[in-house]
Structure 1
Amino acid sequence: MSHVVISPIDNKPFATINLATGEQVTETIERSKKAFLLWKKVPIEERVRVVSKFIEAFVDKKDEIAEELTRQMGRPIRYAGGEIDGTAERARYMMSIAEESLKDVEIEDSDKPGFRRFIRKEPLGPILIIAAWNYPYLISVNGVVPAILAGNTVILKQSSQTPLCAQRFADAFKEAGLIENVFQILHAPHSEIEKAIKHPDIAYVNFTGSVEGGREIQKAASSKFIATGLELGGKDPAYVRSDADLDYTVEQLVDGSFFNSGQCCCAIERIYVHEQVYDQFVNKFVESTKQYKLGFPLKHETTLGPMVRTKAAEFVRDQIENAVKQGAKPLIDVSLFPEDKKNTPYMAPQVLVNVNHSMKIMTEESFGPVIGIMKVSSDEEAIQLMNDSEFGLTASIWTKDEDAAVKIGNEIDTGTWFMNRCDYLDPALAWVGVKNSGRGCTLSKFGFDYLTRPKSFHLKLITK
């Protein structure tokens, strides 16, 4: 059985991959378990050394990886290399903190002489990572590198839209000299992935994708006593206060809304602007949005490529149409973007005003190049609206007042709270979601806690 990857840039077949049978899936897991028994004994210093060589080998092929990425999911070539750089940044940070984060925790107590007590962070075993297509390398590295540094083995199931990305990781690990089968890739239909999750040797599942997909992952894993890491949907808000630097704020929020055609896990999807600066903000935002160049993503001048598939673009177009029927006002003349065509994944950016929370455009994940902007009269109103969501991945505030930013941030139900920036993952900070944005944690020193288990050593020392 095989799967054909259709490139969104021209709607033509780009690659064909063979899908694993049930027997092959089982064999992959069994190999992972055997490799785990070897890899977990490898000193952390050696694990770091191998991962360092992996990153060197990966970055060395940056240009060809970037073009291949563009052909698989449509991001303009001028930006595609940034994902390779970001992957290296995250991996290198996790390498830099691995020894300190994974070392034994010694318990010192002078009241109990004759004992040695410590807690060891044991690796879990074979870990199944199921990655999404929108940032296939960045999403994968969040789990793959920390898991391997912690002494686990990894089976990576990449999205069927970006399967070649998994092979790039495999090639780089092979070049780095990683023990065979510590890292494996798996292309398989959903039915077989469900069986893999239920396999007794899979110790943890990390999934990035839709809320519906997360529920299926959780359901499959519930037959065993294992944890899952789930990064799911988002409807990330921004609040522009009256004291914001408008030129800077507009520049950042336009990029946060439309980069990668809005197909970012933490893209800005709704903006609330204080009434004192609302008109100025909207005018500047619209003018900046008009500067995008929608077109063929392999041309360097293109700044907005196609969405991943026509179906995704039509979903966003329907959201916009329904909002307009309910009274929303579109501010972008689509004719400014001649490449925008219905029944294709090429879609112009759109800015909507006169929106409210009765419209799906302000409550339902769009994952596309559209933004709704609402006027608010106070911090309190902004807080209420930002929290009026089933999601909670990131949220941002744009202000010169740090104290106000922290105070308001304490009231927002979100995994990450930004001041004067957005749409960015700092590997030193815990990447988490609340509500329907998921559970678990990746990156930072806390990410290792989800890839290990504490094992207590209680030693009574006998002396003659």
Structure 2
Amino acid sequence: MAELTESIYAGGAWHRSGTRERISVVNPANDRVIAEVTAGCAADVDRAVTAARAAFPKWSRLEASERLRLLQRLQAGIQERAEGLATTITSEMGAPVSFSRAAQIGLALRGIQSTIAAMSSIADERIGGTLIVREAVGVVAAITPWNFPLHQIIAKIAPALAAGCVVVLKASEVTPLDAIQLAGIIDDAGFPAGVFNLVTGGRETGEALVSHPGVDMVTFTGSTRGGRRVATVAAEGLKKVALELGGKSANILLDDADLARAVPGAVQQCFVNSGQVCAALSRLFVPESRLAEVESLAVAAAKNWTLGDPADVATRLGPLASRAQQAHVRKCIELGISEGARLLVGGPEQPKGFDAGAYVLPTIFSGARNDMALAREEIFGPVLAIVGYADEDEAIRMANDSDYGLSGGVWSASVPRAVSVARRLSTGQVVVNGASLDLAAPFGGVKRSGYGRENGKYGLEEFFNVKAVLGAGE
């Protein structure tokens, strides 16, 4: 077990925390403690924010091309250490190592590239005799989750740094190890001292960071409950806030969909990363006339999502990130059974052959109603609820009958028809026929899924203030 006592990175150097409290990092595949990091405290936050404020004037005035050059060096550093980072993420949150390599690391690398491309297109504008300029917001507090730890860090810090902001990162206490490795890569890349800073810790550290008077903006990804608290605390200082929160996204199979392709694709859209995806399409709306056919195909598809040791390259479904998350998902499955939904496959019990670890069986329900907790509450695990519908209008109405609005899906033999349905969905993103993730496209939600956008040009704009200079000439 590693004890990382110097896990505060501020002003270009590593520091011991102002507290002796430690947080254990547990491998969810076997319940073993693999490291201990400092719990963090308000003094650590103050050190990091002070360093960031001191670095901001010079960094924000640096030529954008120089900031992008450093981001390219960061990208190269991540690529160089990709295998070690993938192994770390697998150990700390349980993602299968093949998925860690392809997605946990791959998305981070693509995110930097998307940011560089977006920043390269930013330019001053003119409206008549008025000059429109963009200026960096300032000190950004970035608070990130455990499900895509490195990708979510990059989705926040890459555009912030490109825009000329400086960052204080608080990574999830469940997955701090990849963030600590990233800080070392940033240090090696030659970023000026104080431009990037890292504090470890849990809720108290996060609260101290959000409330710090030296912070100008907060970007947060996490639960809706956490987002409410961030917004409330940040409001005291009238800080700019971007929130990417929970989801209970609907996937609509239209009556002309190719079920042989759509159903396995829909199962994947729910089960990937063990269902620990804020944009997971966990409600599957199916024409009642084709319900039996969909159920059969879904059960067959679920058999391909076999559980296994995440360190094995053949494993497709690893454990959940923690025993606490496992307990939550099991409770949700039990509630679905008690509500009267039909369990097609899976269940709440510990999978056979897995005496240790936070494993959950891939689970599919049918006969779910849209008013059940199973179809309304975010589960964040490999649990799919199939809901029948009478016609297209009813499917859209039920899809929109949700507190959330982060993502959605439509499957149809006709792309124009699918797009027509997509336009009627109250959500920040819709995936047509299983389309691949586009990191140049905006990602974010409506309703209780938050506000603000990440990725590409739209994500970059979050980190600017816009200034109008009147009378600047033609």
1:158 aligns with 2:171: yes
Q: Does residue 74 in structure 1 map to residue 88 in structure 2?
A: no
Is the Cα contact below 8 Å between 1:58 and 1:168 reproduced in 2?
Answer: no
Residues 460/183 of structure 1: CA separation in 2 closer, same or farther (3 Å cut):
closer
Contact 1:129 1:206 in 2 (8 A): yes
Q: Which amino acid in structure 2 is aligned with residue 80 of structure 1?
A: S
Alignment of 1:111-260 (within 5 A): 117-260=130-273
- Residue type of the alignment partner of 1:206: T
Displacement of 1:403: 2.4
1:113-139 Cα offsets, whole Å, 9 max, x none, are xxx531110001110000000000111
User: Aligned partners of 2:296, 2:99: CA distance in 1, in Å?
Assistant: 27
CA offset at residue 436 of structure 1? 0.4
Q: CA deviation at 1:289?
A: 0.5
- Alignment equivalent of 1:441, drawn from 453, 456, 471: 453
Q: Name the structure 2 match of 1:453.
A: 465
In structure 2, what is the Cα distance between the partners aligned to 1:455 and 1:57?
35
Moved more, 246-255 or 118-127: 246-255
The one-letter code matched in structure 1 to 2:144 is A
How far apart, CA to CA, are the structure 2 residues paired with 1:394 and 1:70? 26
Report the secondary structure of 2:289's partner residue. Answer: coil
Q: Where does residue 5 of structure 1 map in the other structure?
A: 25
Q: CA RMSD in A?
A: 1.8
1:246-395 alignment runs, 5 A limit:
246-332=259-345, 338-339=352-353, 344-395=357-408
1:88 to 99, 109, 123: 109
Shift of 1:10: 0.9
Displacement of 1:4 in angstroms is 1.2
1:56 aligns with 2:76: yes
Query: SS at 1:351's partner residue?
Result: strand
1:336 positional shift: 12
Q: Distance in 1 between matches of 2:354 and 2:253?
A: 30
Cα distance, 1:18 vs structure 2: 1.6
C-alpha separation in 2, matches of 1:324 and 1:25: 45
| SS of match in other structure, 1:400 | coil
Identical-residue share of aligned pairs (%): 28
Aligned amino acid, residue 265 of structure 1: C
When residues 22 and 338 of structure 1 are mapped into structure 2, their CA distance, relative to the original with a 3 A threshold, is same
Aligned to 2:12: none
| Pairs within 5 Å for 1:9-20 | 9-20=29-40
Moved more, 260-269 or 19-28: 19-28
1:430 to 407, 420, 442: 442
Q: Does 1:105 align with 2:121?
A: no
Distance 1:359 1:320 in 2: 12
The structural deviation recorded for 1:208 is 0.6
Paired positions, count: 451
CA–CA separation in structure 2 for the residues paired with 1:98 and 1:331: 48
User: Are the counterparts in 1 of residues 60 and 136 from structure 2 also a CA contact under 8 Å?
Assistant: yes
Q: Decide whether aligned partners of structure 1 residues 259 and 339 sit closer, same or farther in structure 2, where only a CA change above 3 A counts.
A: farther
CA contact (8 A) 2:115 2:460 kept: no
- Are 2:64 and 1:44 aligned? yes
* CA distance 1:137–1:189, change in 2 (3 Å): closer
User: Relative to structure 1, is the Cα distance of residues 74 and 259 closer, same or farther in structure 2, using a 3 angstrom cutoff?
Assistant: same
**Long gaps (5+) in structure 2:** 1-20
Report the more deviating stretch, 127-136 or 79-88.
79-88
Unmatched tracts of structure 1, length 5 or more: 110-115
TM-score normalised by the chain length of structure 1: 0.93
**Cα offset, 1:25, TM superposition:** 1.5
- Structure 1's consecutive aligned runs of 4 or more residues displaced over 4 angstroms after TM superposition are 333-337
Q: SS state of the match for residue 331, structure 1?
A: strand
Q: TM-score, normalised by structure 2?
A: 0.91
Cα gap change, 1:279 to 1:340, in 2 (>3 Å): farther
Out of 41-50 and 296-305, give the one that drifted further: 296-305
Distance apart, 1:413 and its partner CA: 0.7
Q: Distance in 2 between matches of 1:413 and 1:333?
A: 31
Deviation at residue 141 of structure 1 after TM alignment: 1.2
**Structure 1's 69 and 24: CA in aligned 2 closer, same or farther, altered over 3 A?**
same
Q: Read off the aligned partner of 2:147 and give its amino acid letter.
A: N
Instruction: State whether residues 142 and 218 of structure 2, in contact with CA within 8 Å, keep that contact through their aligned partners in structure 1.
Output: yes
Larger radius of gyration: 1
CA distance 1:290–1:150, shift in 2 (3 Å): same
- Determine the C-alpha separation between the residues in 1 that align with 2:44 and 2:351: 47
Alpha-carbon distance in structure 2 between the residues aligned to 1:407 and 1:237: 16
SS of residue in 1 equivalent to 2:236? coil
Alpha carbons of structure 1 residues 11 and 337: separation in structure 2 relative to 1, 3 Å: closer
